Structure formats: C-alpha cells, structure tokens
Amino acid sequence: MMEMDKIVKNKLINLEIDVPDEVWYGIQRELDITHTKKSFLIYRYAAAIAAFAIIGSTIFYFFNKKDTSIKQSEMFVENTTANQTKEKDIINIQNKGDREEKIFTAQSENFTQKQEKDLSGITEILQNRPVVKEIKREEKVLLAANYEKLNPFVPELKRTGSDLEIILKENATAIPDLNYLPDVDLIYALNNDVKVAKDKNKWAVGGEFSPLYSYRHIASTQNGKDAAYYNELENPVLTYSGGVNVQYNALKRLTVQTGVYYTSIGQSIDYVGVYANNVYDMVPEEYRDRYINSYNIDNSVGNISFNTKYVFIDNKSARVNNLSDNKEFLDINNPVYNDLNASVEQNLKYLEIPVILRYKLIDKIIDVNIIGGLSANFLVENNVYLRYSGVKEDIGHTQGINNINYSGNIGFGVDYPLTKQLNFRLEPTFRYYLNPVSSNSDIDSHPYTMGLFTGICYSF
C-alpha cells in the first residue's frame, strides 16, 4: 500500500457524517413491511395446517412452501491473527441449493480499535435470485470512458455527471434484493459472467376510484347572459371516475403514469318544472304521438334537445323552448298534469387517457406525492337524464359537445404500503378541462372535477 493510500485511509476510515432522518424512516418502513409479510405468511401457514388437520385423515396434503426452494449458505470466517491491523479471513461458502462450493480469501479490515477477531459463522437464507441478463462488455467500456469525460472535477459541471448517471440508470435495471447476503450473491454472480440484476419495482399497476364533485367554470359568454345568471340556475352534481393504470418509476422520486379511466361529469339544471301529461297514458296508443313535444333547454354547457311525453316549463327564466307545432298550454291546476318534482341532469361520460407525473415529496412510511398531468378525454356517452321518484330516464342529449377534450390534472396524495409490493393510495385530485366542452355554444364553459381517488397499486 502506498503512503498516499495510508493517509487517505487514516483520514476516512473513522469519518462520521450526520445521516438525514429520512434514512431511518425508510428502514422502519421496510422492516414494518417485512414484519407484515411474515405475519401474513404465518397466518397462511396456520390456515394450511388447519386444513391439513381436517382432511388429513383421508388426504395427505402437503403445503408447498416457498421456503423449499430456499438456498442456504454458510459462511465460516476464520481469523488467522488477532492483533494484526489487517487480518486474513477464510470464507467458505457452501451453496447447498446449487450443490456447489467455492472458497476464496478475503481481507477484512480492523475497523474498531478493539480487536475482536475470532471464528464467526453466518448462515444465510437466500431467496429470489435475481434474473440476469447480459450486457456487452464493449458497451460497458464505452460507458466508463464517457463517464470519466463527463464527470469533471469542477463542481458546476456535476449536472453533466448526473445526466450521465441517468443514462446509466436507463441502461441499468436494478434494485437490490434484500433477502440475501451480497457476499453469497457475489459468488452466484461470479459464476454467471457479466450479469445485471433484473429491475424490481420499476413498474406498477393499479386501480382507482373516486366520487367526483363535478361542475363547470364559465370563462366567457357571448349571448348577453353572464356567468352569474347560469350559476344561479345550475348546480354541481356528484359523479364518479374509476379506472386502471400502469406506472413506471422513471427516476427515484418521479413516476410516470398512464391508464384508462371511465369518467362521468355533468351538472344539474334547476328551476325546470316537469309535468307528466296523464292524457298521454289515457289515450289510445295511436294518438299518443300527438302528446310528444320537442323541447330545447338552453344552458351553459350547450342546448339540450329532446322529444318527450312530459311537459317542461321554466320556473325562473326562459330557458325552455317548446319547438313543436302542437304547443301545449300548461295549466298546472289541471288534474291531467302531474308535477313530477323532477330534476334535469346533464351527463357526459369520457374515456380518459391520462399522462400523470407523480413526484414523491416525502419518502417515509407514508409517502406523500404531488401529481400533475394531462388527459385526453374521449366522449363515449352524452345523456340528459330526468330524475324523479327514484326514476332515472334518459330524455336526450346536449348538442355540440366536443368528441375529444383535454384536461389538466393536479393533486397530491399519499401512498401507504400494505405489503412490500402492494400500496394503498389516496389522492385528492382536481381536473380542469382545458378547452370548452362545446364547440358551437356561445358560452365558453370548462368542466372541472374534484375527487378523492382511492385505490391500490401493485409494484413489480
């Protein structure tokens, strides 16, 4: 060892640097997950044993534990001297699973002032050996050369190094498996030429659902009626959204997510009186057409046009127009008319394809994320419903609704690990439709929703 090495060693061997608290939180979380997993396994085994006891008299049921594939390794560390500053250890690794033995010599450092060097034995359980793939050696050499060039000493240029690091991460794939000792895995690795462990937990799939508070924002009007006019006559409705998603951990804290969601939005149109014309049901069927009227209801999202046996009037304004020739004179005191106390609800259903970026603000037992992204919303249903006495009747559609709308999504959320791979997710999210919902309306109306998405996500 050169003098330079000794100086460096003396300066750094006992160096202590304060550790950020987040590391301990991460350790706690992983230990909790491991404990949960073990508990789950215990219950599973108990259930298996119970089943075995019940039917064991007739059927021998062998519960096939995963542990049968566990490979045990044993390390025996034998120190040759007790008082040398550096001692040789003989490490014998016997991999029973693979029926192979390998012996190599390792030097272990005397890191403590106290020399406690005796025999030490380590028994290790191996699980889930990483899947390996080959990387061309030429590629590695090239990457190494580039790294040195792009990683200059000048601190300002560190970002360049980070860029390269990202490139390396993209080319690499790994998150270490925590269930085996690296020493033992090293032997496994040495026996497999060039190897890169397969990525773990880079991908995740999940499902989410949320009730939505749905309404619209009127940006401008060109028909002489302002937003306040419509806000007084219309109200938000409670809808829903749900779907499946797939996400990819692009960076340590950044996740890209897409998926398919089925989203329902809408609003209610209030102060519209709806009456059943009892004559319609009383006259022979061939005459009923005479009691069908064509209506048009003006609203902030677009005109609703429909044909119906019901009679519509506007109780507060002049939004309802009867377009039929046989305009009916409504006398609410006439017993042929029955007030339904109904409400009119516009409803638009979209297939939503979002591209969401999720950034992990807090990486602890419960992760806290902020999310943002864009969605393409493809109109799949356009309905207007009449609701009364538990009845939901489709009476028409809103004219001029765009087939594709784009929305911006922002929100934040928390992820709580149920198991090592399964997370529970809670995400309050706000979505705002970037373009007007209707193409041929005088009103520039942008729907928006607020939802509390809950779901699970399975990482692999």
Told to check if 103 binds another protein by CB under 8 A, we report no
Q: Of 139, 164, 136, which Cα lies nearest the Cα of 149?
A: 164
Stretch that binds another protein, among 16-24, 39-47, 273-281, 404-412 (CB under 8 A): 16-24
Q: Of 67, 72, 78, which Cα lies nearest the Cα of 124?
A: 72
Strands (E), 110-198: 120-126, 132-133, 196-197
Report the length, in residues, of the chain.
460
Contacts with another protein by CB under 8 A: the residue count is 91
**CB-nearer residue toward another protein: 90 or 452:** 90
Q: How far is the CB of 141 from another protein (least distance, A)?
A: 6
Q: How far is the CB of 361 from another protein (least distance, A)?
A: 14
What is the residue whose two structure tokens read 């090592």? 420
Told to check if 92 binds another protein by CB under 8 A, we report no
Told to check if 82 binds another protein by CB under 8 A, we report no
Q: Which of 39, 69, 171, 440 binds another protein (CB under 8 A)?
A: 171
Told to check if 55 binds another protein by CB under 8 A, we report no
Q: How far is the CB of 156 from another protein (least distance, A)?
A: 12
Assess contact for 425 and 206: CB atoms under 8 A.
yes
Stretch that binds another protein, among 19-27, 52-60, 254-262, 364-372 (CB under 8 A): 19-27
**CB-nearer residue toward another protein: 187 or 384:** 187
Q: Which of 156, 193, 285, 286 binds another protein (CB under 8 A)?
A: 193
Q: Which of 49, 190, 323, 362 binds another protein (CB under 8 A)?
A: 190
Stretch that binds another protein, among 170-178, 224-232, 274-282, 347-355 (CB under 8 A): 170-178
Q: How far is the CB of 128 from another protein (least distance, A)?
A: 13
SS3 category, 190: helix
Stretch that binds another protein, among 164-172, 302-310, 379-387, 422-430 (CB under 8 A): 164-172
Q: At what angle do helices 137-150 and 158-171 cross, to 10 degrees?
A: 160
Residues 241-300 contacting another protein, CB under 8 A: 252
What one-character DSSP code corresponds to residue 402? -
Using CA atoms, how far residue 230 sits from 176, 268, 302, 396, in Å, is 58, 11, 12, 20
Q: Of 371, 359, 373, which Cα lies nearest the Cα of 428?
A: 371
Q: How far is the CB of 303 from another protein (least distance, A)?
A: 56
Residues 195-214 contacting another protein, CB under 8 A: 195-197
Q: Of 129, 103, 127, 107, which Cα lies nearest the Cα of 117?
A: 107
Distance from C-alpha of 159 to C-alpha of 204, rounded to nearest angstrom:
29
SS3 category, 261: strand
Residues 107-146 contacting another protein, CB under 8 A: 107-112, 114-124, 130, 135, 137, 140-141, 143-145
Q: Which of 57, 58, 60, 153 binds another protein (CB under 8 A)?
A: 153
Stretch that binds another protein, among 28-36, 407-415, 418-426, 449-457 (CB under 8 A): 28-36
The residues, any chain, with a CB within 8 Å of residue 146's CB and separated by 6 or more, are: 164
Q: How far is the CB of 351 from another protein (least distance, A)?
A: 38
Q: Which of 3, 285, 286, 325 binds another protein (CB under 8 A)?
A: 3
Told to check if 106 binds another protein by CB under 8 A, we report yes
**CB-nearer residue toward another protein: 135 or 452:** 135
Site string for another protein, 341-380 (x = CB under 8 A): ----------------------------------------
Q: How far is the CB of 446 from another protein (least distance, A)?
A: 40
Assess contact for 353 and 246: CB atoms under 8 A.
no
Distance from C-alpha of 134 to C-alpha of 140, rounded to nearest angstrom:
11
Burial status of residue 443 (CB atoms within 10 A of its CB: 0-12, 13-18, 19 or more): buried
Distance from C-alpha of 444 to C-alpha of 447, rounded to nearest angstrom:
10
Distance from C-alpha of 372 to C-alpha of 429, rounded to nearest angstrom:
9
SS3 category, 118: coil
Stretch that binds another protein, among 48-56, 98-106, 334-342, 395-403 (CB under 8 A): 98-106
What one-character DSSP code corresponds to residue 60? -
Q: Which of 67, 100, 134, 148 binds another protein (CB under 8 A)?
A: 148
Told to check if 156 binds another protein by CB under 8 A, we report no
Using CA atoms, how far residue 335 sits from 277, 282, 387, in Å, is 9, 13, 22
Told to check if 99 binds another protein by CB under 8 A, we report no
**CB-nearer residue toward another protein: 101 or 289:** 101
Q: How far is the CB of 262 from another protein (least distance, A)?
A: 38
SS3 category, 134: coil
Enumerate the H helices of 56-118 as residue ranges. Answer: none
The residues, any chain, with a CB within 8 Å of residue 11's CB and separated by 6 or more, are: none
Q: How far is the CB of 438 from another protein (least distance, A)?
A: 48
